[in-house]
Every structure is written in C-alpha cells, then in structure tokens.
Amino acid sequence: YYNQDTYIYLDGEFVKANTAGTDLFGQSLHYGYGAFEGLRAYSTYHGSRIFKAEEHFNRLQESCRAINLPYQWNNNHLIEKTYELLSVNNLRSAYIRPLVFSGSNMHLTSAVESKIMIAAWEWGPYLGHNLLRVCTSRIERPNPKSFRIDAKVSGQYINSILASSDAIRNGFDEALLLDQEGFVAQASSENLFIEKDFKIYTPPLGNIFPGITRQAVIEICKDFQIEVIEKRLSIQDIHEADSAFLCGTAAEIIGIKEVDNIRYKEDWEHTIGASIQRKYKKLVLEEENYEVII
Ligand code: PMP
C-alpha cells in the first residue's frame, strides 16, 4: 500500500508513512474504537477527481458522532488536503482512506481526543473484474440494536473479515450476510442489488450500511426510469433473481455469476446491472454526457 516515499496526511501535516507512528496504548488499537472512510479518486479529462468527496467526509463526521469520537475538522479543508495528498504522492487515480482514531486512553469511555490520518494508494477494483461467485454466510450482520451499523466504525469490520474469509476458505469470492430475521442484508463490504422481471430490488436501510454507491445506483436507475424497490429480500429471492450485482466504492459495480452454486441464466452483459455499471464508470470519470445505451 505504500513505498518508502509515500506521504500520509496526519493531523495537519504531510509526513512520510514509514516514519509516522501512533501510541500503542489507545482505544482504537485495543477496542476498534475508530471511524474511517473509503473514497476513490479517478483520473478524468479534467484532472484527478474524487467521487462524492463531500458525501464521504460528511459520513465520516456522522460516524464519529455516532460513537462520540471528537471530530474537530472542517470537511472542505480535509477535501483540499486530500487533493494535496494525491498530488504530493503523484497519484491521479487512487483509493483514499481517512481514519479517525482516539488518542492515548485505555478506558471504555468516550474518547477525549482524536486524530485523523489520510492515506492514498493505487488500488484496482476490490473484488477484481470477473463476475463473482458468492455464498450466503453463516455469519450474520451485527445487531443494529447493539451496534451503530449505519456508521463506518473500525471494530465492526471484524464481522466483515469473518464472513469474507469464511467465504474465501470455501472457494467463493465474497459472502452475503443475513440480518437477524434471516433476510439477506448485504455483502461483507458492498451493498446488494438484484434484477427480477426488469425491476431492480435492494434491501432497505435499517439492517444495511448506507452505501454512497448504493445511492448512486438508485439515482442512475431514476435516470434510466427503471423502478428500484427497496424491500427485504429472502435467500430464495436472491436465488430466483434474473441477475444480481454488488456495489461499493472499493469494489465499484461488479456482477454476480452464481449464488450458493446456483448460476444466473441471464448473460451479465445484457442485464440492467451491466448498463448501470457502464453508467457508473462514466459518472466517476465525469463523462456522463456520453449516452449509455440500455
Ligand atoms: N457495506 C459496508 C459494510 C461497507 O464498509 C461499505 C464500504 N464503505 C459499503 C457497504 C459500500 O459503501 P460505499 O458505497 O459508501 O462505499
């Protein structure tokens, strides 16, 4: 993720990543008490552009608020610093990772102070370019009554690691996690959409992480005049769909080939999902005037 010369932004300064350090006696390291974001910058005709930068930094602020982690930064300033970080590191397209973490404190109480770091590195689509083989996982999503699952909180990602590593161990690419009532919620770090009879369905907010890419997909569908139905989906709904895809900043939009070894009959390239994928690419590259043929 970084070489000898990579710089990170750390609490107001650009410092070499390999010389930067942090306190080993902090709540973030010991208890997973931190909040983070994942953004992408794309190399467009107008230069490097961060997709939905404000939305991501606003969500970072909200995530910190959700867990009482002090957040003393101005988001526009952080966006400016992120662009500077890209240029310091000579990056045009990159994955960007801001992380807010607690200062020295080992108590199980709200943080007294916090720091921010922002790193950026080149990273291809998180799940690759090939259609995915996914499985429904034995690992459930965390209970929304015991965790702020709408916030991007570090500790929560143990759940994602358990689910995706279990899936990979069993020969799949990614896991679909169920909520406590047995409905399919989402993948370990992506939101889920299915297509059935020319309509698009996705699980509603509540038991899912409110993805910014999910929202972008909903807006693309509005643009395409395709109905999006937000409703709880059973495993059977997923198995019997015409096609399905996952979406997230890191993974972008990626089609699913099989769920639980059941293969979708529809050829991905002819699905609505594939049209959404093409449109998304144009949006992030700021070529949206270019017509997309559905
Ligand atoms: N679900 C989880 C658990 C995630 O961590 C992410 C990535 N932040 C997503 C879904 C997708 O969210 P976004 O589209 O905002 O990247």
253 lines ligand 1 (CB under 6 A): no
Distances from the Cα of 197 to the Cα of 35, 241, 254, 256, 272, angstroms = 39, 8, 20, 17, 10
* 151 and 280 part of one domain: yes
* 165 and 208 part of one domain: yes
212 lines ligand 1 (CB under 6 A): yes
So which residues are the catalytic ones? 152
Q: Please tell me the total count of domains within the chain.
A: 2
189 lines ligand 1 (CB under 6 A): yes
156 lines ligand 1 (CB under 6 A): no
Task: Indicate the residue among 69, 96, 121 that finishes a domain.
Answer: 121
126 domain-assigned: no
- Take atom 10 of ligand 1 and give the residue whose Cα is closest: 190
**Which residue out of 209, 247, 252 has the highest number of ligand 1 atoms within 8 Å of its CB and is therefore the one to mutate?**
209
* 254 and 275 part of one domain: yes
* 102 and 74 part of one domain: yes
pLDDT score, position 289 = 60
* 115 and 209 part of one domain: no
Task: Indicate the residue among 99, 121, 143 that finishes a domain.
Answer: 121
Q: Provide the β-strand partners of residue 7.
A: 16
List strand residue ranges (DSSP E) for 124-219, in order. 132-136, 174-178, 184-187, 191-196, 199-202
Q: In degrees rounded to 5, what are phi and psi of residue 120?
A: -145, 140
Tokens of 184: 């399919």
293 domain-assigned: no
Q: Are 132 and 252 in contact (CB under 8 A)?
A: no
Helical residues (DSSP H) of the chain, grouped into ranges: 27-31, 53-66, 75-88, 157-169, 212-224, 235-239, 272-284
- Among 94, 83, 31, smallest CA distance to 57 is for 83
* 155 and 279 part of one domain: yes
- Take atom 3 of ligand 1 and give the residue whose Cα is closest: 189
246 domain-assigned: yes
292 domain-assigned: no
289 domain-assigned: no
The range of the structural domain enclosing residue 52 comes to: 7-121
Distance 209 CA to ligand 1 centre (A): 6
216 domain-assigned: yes
Task: Indicate the residue among 75, 92, 121 that finishes a domain.
Answer: 121
* 280 and 147 part of one domain: yes
Is the confidence metric ipTM above 0.95 for this complex?
A: yes
* 136 and 278 part of one domain: yes
Tokens of 180: 């406590």
* CATH code: domain of residue 246: 3.20.10.10
Number of Cβ atoms within 10 Å of the Cβ of 24 = 8
* CATH code: domain of residue 13: 3.30.470.10
What does pTM read for this prediction? 0.96
**Which residue out of 174, 190, 276 has the highest number of ligand 1 atoms within 8 Å of its CB and is therefore the one to mutate?**
190
* 94 and 238 part of one domain: no
38 lines ligand 1 (CB under 6 A): yes
| Per-residue pLDDT of the chain in tens (294 residues, 90 and over written 9) | 878 899 999 999 999 999 998 999 999 999 999 999 999 999 999 899 999 999 999 999 999 999 999 999 999 999 999 999 999 999 999 999 999 999 889 999 999 999 999 999 999 999 999 999 999 999 999 999 999 999 999 999 999 999 999 999 999 999 999 999 999 999 999 999 999 999 999 999 999 999 999 999 999 999 999 999 999 999 999 999 999 999 999 999 999 999 999 999 999 999 999 999 999 999 999 996 655 555
2 domain-assigned: no
251 domain-assigned: yes
Which ligand 1 atom sits closest to the C-alpha of 156? 3
* 93 and 154 part of one domain: no
* 103 and 136 part of one domain: no
Tokens of 225: 């005049």
Question: CA 242, CA 237: separation in Å to the nearest integer?
Answer: 10
DSSP 39: E
Distance 186 CA to ligand 1 centre (A): 10
Q: Are 88 and 151 in contact (CB under 8 A)?
A: no
Distance 49 CA to ligand 1 centre (A): 20
Question: CA 258, CA 135: separation in Å to the nearest integer?
Answer: 8
Tokens of 85: 């970080």
* 25 and 67 part of one domain: yes
